[in-house]
């Protein structure tokens, strides 16, 4: 069983953690409320956990231009 981190914006795989080597408390899931947990974390049929996060590229793009999509439309 492993935890896969995927970017919520572009879907790129950000990282993977083998849960055998990780204390689930250390992942911080227990700090999330139920709503956040449902939004961010999906449990797969094979027992893996997929966590939605943001990759460095998208993080940078959004920081540089939070109105990215509107700006793109504007250019056209
Ligand atoms: Zn991304």
Cβ atoms of 17 and 41 within 8 Å: the answer is no
Q: Inform me whether the pLDDT recorded for 36 exceeds 50.
A: yes
Helix/strand/coil (H/E/C) assignment for every residue in 52-75: EECCHHHHHHHHHCCCHHHHHHHH
Q: How far is the CA of 50 from the centre of ligand 1 (A)?
A: 15
Q: State the pTM of this model.
A: 0.67
Three-state DSSP at 3 gives strand
DSSP bridge partners of 42: 50
Q: How far is the CA of 20 from the centre of ligand 1 (A)?
A: 27
Q: How far is the CA of 19 from the centre of ligand 1 (A)?
A: 23
User: What is the rounded distance in angstroms from the CA atom of residue 2 to the CA atom of residue 19?
Assistant: 5
User: 37: pLDDT confidence band, cut at 50, 70 and 90?
Assistant: confident
């Amino acid at each position: 069983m492993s935890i896969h981190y995927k970017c919520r914006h572009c879907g790129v795989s950000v990282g993977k953690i083998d849960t055998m080597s990780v204390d689930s408390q250390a992942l911080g899931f227990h700090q999330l409320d139920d709503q956040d947990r449902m939004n961010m974390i999906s449990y797969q049929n094979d027992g893996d956990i997929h966590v939605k996060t943001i990759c460095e590229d998208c993080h940078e793009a959004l920081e540089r231009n939070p109105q990215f999509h509107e700006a793109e439309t504007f250019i056209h």
